[in-house]
Amino acid sequence: MCSYKFKKQGGGVVVDISSQSVLSHINGRPVLQPYNNSHKKNNTCNFKISPPPISPKIKKVNVLNTNNEKIPKSSPPISPKIKSPIKKVKNDSSFMIVEVAGSIAAARREQVANMQVQRKQRIAHYGRTNSAKFNAAAAVDSTSREAKRCSFITPNSDPIYIAYHDEEWGVPLHDDNLLFELLVLTVAQVGSDWTSLLKRRQDFRDAFSGFDAEIVAKYNEKKINSTSIEYGIELSQVRGVVDNSKRILEMKKQFGSFHKYLWGFVCNKPIKTQYKACNKIPVKTSKSETMSKDMVKKGFRYVGPTIIHSFMQAVGLTNDHIITCPRHVQCATQKPIAM
């Protein structure tokens, strides 16, 4: 076998090759091979193996940052400081946190505060809570606003229609003949307008004997036909008025009077509403639907929920004058018209 030793000489390594091996060059590389089991004494071959090249040293360069501190060039870059929207203000011995004006947090807090104020106002307006502050502010605001009639009264409205709004509409009624009259007029108003109907009001009174239910209930077929022809009222409407007069007499026997039957639906107190505009007033309500179903069950004709709601407005069962209308408060405080 071949034995060899490594010795350091100078900057290289010396290989001492001896015993049954010889150094040859194959493809430019030194290779150990046997030499026919014969060798010369002290036959050595020295060659140097150069060490791997040493990479040049990297000089560290110091760079000054924004705070005049030395940092190595190879260190990662430092991100610029972001200014906080909150600053500390020294107050006596403690620190008080104050938001910088114009920051996102300050704007968000202001928006949430405004939303909460608006929500409280809405809740107070619709009556779900009783806010003394809001009610006081609303009272001051209502007194400062200009008094305006309901929006269906315009400068072009007929004086007879304006008088009806200012004197009758929404006034609580407890007179059976007037209740019967307004029920008939409300039914006749369908497909027409109140101004034209109010101008013919006296004709209706003459046609139905001043709306005395006991007299109208005795109309026979001949009287019904002559009334329709003489006063220009549809025959079906005349028949409906006669049938309703009979039902009113039944209510008088059962409840003592027609008005007691009607006012029992609202517990003998007008419904108070707080509408700001006429377009917010519904055409029917759950109360008018309940009242309509009961009247239909008792045999009344032409008493749908929309007609009954209009009838309730006319006779003061509900006060649907808008809050800016002077009649809103007047109808609420006015004494009811009794028999």
| DSSP-assigned letters across all residues of 125-154 | HTTSS--HHHHHHHHHHHHHSPP---TT--
321 is known to lie in a ligand binding site: yes
Find the helix packing angle between 104-125 and 132-144, rounded to 10°. Answer: 80
C-alpha distances in Å from residue 290, one per residue of 246, 266, 318: 21, 11, 14
Helix segments in the chain, DSSP class H:
104-125, 132-144, 159-167, 176-189, 194-199, 201-207, 213-216, 221-231, 235-255, 258-263, 286-297, 305-314, 326-333
Q: Is 45 annotated as a binding residue?
A: no
- The reply to whether 25 sits in an annotated binding site is no
What phi and psi, each to the nearest 5 degrees, are found at residue 18? -150, 170
Taking the CA of residue 232 as centre, how many other CA atoms within 13 Å lie in the half-sphere pointing to its CB?
5
User: How many whole angstroms separate alpha carbon 159 and alpha carbon 150?
Assistant: 15
Q: Which two tokens stand for residue 226?
A: 């002559």
Q: Are 276 and 148 in contact (CB under 8 A)?
A: no
The whole-angstrom separation of Cα 180 and Cα 212 is 8
Task: List the binding residues.
Answer: 150, 165, 321, 325
Task: List the binding residues for Zn(2+).
Answer: 150, 165, 321, 325
